């Protein structure tokens, strides 16, 4: 596991009462919302300790890492602690217990229900699922405060479990902005090295022009322009877990293909699905079995600096 601390320019002694712990029982790199919490707290003068894993824990090392993280919490526990759920078993129980010992506040940020994700594979009546549901219900009510990502989640928590939560919508970081055309071209060229969807056909191309399906770079004029008849670009990020049913998107892409074949005036479509997770290979095989002529689908793992560029 890993812990890191960030602080404002104020001296550490002046921040004694303005400290916070952000807890992720998982891969920090795949928890952007928790990263934003840490950044937001830091920018508001808090000394932030970020506790989590540099990579997702494997099943065989999960228990030992949870124990190690528990000791880290005892060492670094400050005021307050924000923990995401899921995964929250047993992180939120440990965080609550340590907060009880230290007399500090404990906040849960609800992204989903862990028990409902378990139920997708084990079934709703499985004993483990029932224990997980009870666990989330109990410790959700013990939290000092609860946050959630949507009003629908807030209403569900209130209606079914009597938990009052505050909705905090995700907001993009400053790195997410419109990408200049020249920078887009560089990224498309880079992606074209490994993904056919971003590779321009060399037919009719001259040595003075560098092209992607979306852009054209005039080497003599050193100018980059968007092509007037370029494909549409659709982007989706995912953790490739069972609670994200990507068959919905794939069916929509098949319908798009059918509309084009029926004569609809629609551009070719490039769909980029980025992320890592347990079901990636399954959906990759499903994608490969689709008969699509006007839709291209690629599943790259984008580098951290490339993701905001592609979105922009």
CA dihedral 186, 188, 193, 198 (to 10 degrees): -160
**Architecture of the domain whose range is 2-167:** 3-Layer(aba) Sandwich (3.40)
Among 52, 78, 74, CA closest to 65:
52
Distance, in Å, from the CA atom of 210 to the CA atom of 100, rounded to the nearest integer, reads: 62
Distance, in Å, from the CA atom of 140 to the CA atom of 147, rounded to the nearest integer, reads: 10
Cβ pair 176, 310 in contact under 8 A: no
Instruction: Encode pLDDT of 129-141 as tens digits.
Output: 999 999 999 999 9
Cβ pair 226, 181 in contact under 8 A: yes
In the structure encoding, which two tokens stand for residue 62, read together? 């999960």
Which residue bears the tokens 């560029």?
309
Residue 66's Cβ-side half-sphere holds a number of Cα atoms within 13 Å equal to 16
pLDDT of residue 237: 87
Q: Crossing angle for the helix pair 280-289 and 247-261, nearest 10 degrees?
A: 20
Distance, in Å, from the CA atom of 26 to the CA atom of 35, rounded to the nearest integer, reads: 12
pLDDT of residue 174: 76
Residues of the chain with CATH 3.40.50.2000: 2-167
Cβ pair 300, 195 in contact under 8 A: yes
Query: Residue 87 CB: number of other CB atoms within 10 A?
Result: 20
Count helices and strands in the chain by DSSP H and E runs: 10, 13
Instruction: Encode pLDDT of 27-64 as tens digits.
Output: 776 788 888 898 888 989 888 888 777 665 554 455 55
Distance, in Å, from the CA atom of 53 to the CA atom of 62, rounded to the nearest integer, reads: 11
Distance, in Å, from the CA atom of 238 to the CA atom of 269, rounded to the nearest integer, reads: 19
pLDDT of residue 7: 43
Cβ pair 92, 108 in contact under 8 A: yes
Cβ pair 209, 216 in contact under 8 A: yes
Cα 195 to chain center, whole Å? Answer: 22
For 152: left if phi > 0, alpha if psi spans -120 to 50, otherwise beta; the answer is: alpha
pLDDT of residue 204: 57
Report helix, strand and coil shares of the chain as percent, to nearest 5: 40, 20, 40
pLDDT of residue 155: 96
Cβ pair 52, 27 in contact under 8 A: yes
pLDDT of residue 59: 47
Identify the three-state secondary structure at position 150. Answer: coil
Low-confidence ranges of the chain (pLDDT < 50): 1, 6-16, 59-60
């Amino acid at each position: 596991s890993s812990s890191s601390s960030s602080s404002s320019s104020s001296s550490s002694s002046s921040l004694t009462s303005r400290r916070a712990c952000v807890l992720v029982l998982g891969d920090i790199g795949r928890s952007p919302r928790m990263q934003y919490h840490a950044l937001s707290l830091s920018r508001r003068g808090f000394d932030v300790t970020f506790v989590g894993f540099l990579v997702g824990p494997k099943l065989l090392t999960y228990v030992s890492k949870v124990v190690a993280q528990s000791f880290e919490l005892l060492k670094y526990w400050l005021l307050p602690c924000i923990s995401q759920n899921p995964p929250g078993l047993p992180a939120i129980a440990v965080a609550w217990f340590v907060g009880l010992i230290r007399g500090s506040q404990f906040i849960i940020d609800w992204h989903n229900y862990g028990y409902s994700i378990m139920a997708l594979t084990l079934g709703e009546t499985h004993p483990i699922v029932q224990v997980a549901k009870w666990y989330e219900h109990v410790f959700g009510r013990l939290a000092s405060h609860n946050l959630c990502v949507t009003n629908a989640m807030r209403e569900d928590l209130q209606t079914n479990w009597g938990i009052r939560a505050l909705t905090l919508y995700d907001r993009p970081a400053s790195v997410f902005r419109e990408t200049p055309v020249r920078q887009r071209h560089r990224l498309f060229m880079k992606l074209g090295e490994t993904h056919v969807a971003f590779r321009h056909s060399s037919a009719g191309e001259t040595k003075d022009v560098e092209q992607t399906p979306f852009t054209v770079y005039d080497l003599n004029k050193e100018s980059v322009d968007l092509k007037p008849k370029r494909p549409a670009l659709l982007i989706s990020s995912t953790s490739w877990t069972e609670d994200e049913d990507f068959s919905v998107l794939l069916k929509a892409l098949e319908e798009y293909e059918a509309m084009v074949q029926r004569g609809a005036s629609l551009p070719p479509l490039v769909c980029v699905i980025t992320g890592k997770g347990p079901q990636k290979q399954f959906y990759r095989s499903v994608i490969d079995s689709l008969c699509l002529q006007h839709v291209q689908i690629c599943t790259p793992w984008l580098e951290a600096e490339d993701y905001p560029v592609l979105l922009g």
